[in-house]
Amino acid sequence: MARAGASLITNIYNEVEVSVPVTNSSGSLQPLVFELTYGPEGYCIKDIRG
């Protein structure tokens, strides 16, 4: 998957969603959304949607 750019979707309290456009096996761009949560050790990936 090639990364074309990223954008911050939301930042509510200790949770952040970041959308990253990726190229699928057919050569089409599709968004992949990483949901992050912030804890004592920093940011951790909570969920990945695509």
pLDDT in tens, 1-50: 444 566 655 556 688 888 999 998 999 999 999 999 988 888 899 999 98
CA–CA separation, 47 and 35 (whole Å): 5
What pLDDT score does 1 carry? 45
Q: What is the pLDDT of residue 2?
A: 44
Residue type, 6: A
Give domain status of residue 2, yes or no. no
Does 1 reside within a domain? no
Specify the number of domains making up the chain. 1
Q: E-strand spans in the chain? A: 7-12, 15-23, 29-39, 42-49
Is 23 inside a domain boundary?
Answer: yes
The per-residue pLDDT for 43 is 86
Range of the structural domain that residue 43 is part of: 7-49
The CB density around residue 12, as the number of other CB atoms within 10 Å, is: 7
Give the whole-angstrom CA distance, residue 5 versus residue 13. 24
